[in-house]
Amino acid sequence: SFIKDNAGEYEDWVELYNPTGTAVDITGYWLSNRISNPMKWEFPAGTSVPANGYLVVLFSGTGDYDPNYLGYRNT
């Protein structure tokens, strides 16, 4: 009940926090919910976590093409 995706459904999410005073570029880093598949979803070019800020990423299987939406559900 935190954030809805573009289909209006509530999804699991992960929050990345950057405690430094400089933005952190995470282009090319990977995120997964499976240890057997650690390179399941790659952050696209230009993705960064702002200085002293957060990036919230939804586990959405709706096919949204937004850097903050993963292409799979967290199952």
Give 3-46 pLDDT, tens digit per residue: 776 777 777 778 899 999 999 999 999 988 788 988 888 888 88
Q: Exposed, middle or buried, 43 (CB in 10 Å: 0-12/13-18/19+)?
A: buried
Dihedral of the alpha carbons of 51, 4, 27, 35, in degrees to the nearest 10? 110
Q: What is the pLDDT of residues 46-69, one digit of tens each?
A: 889 999 999 888 776 655 545 555
**Distance in angstroms (rounded) separating the CA atoms of residues 24 and 59:** 21
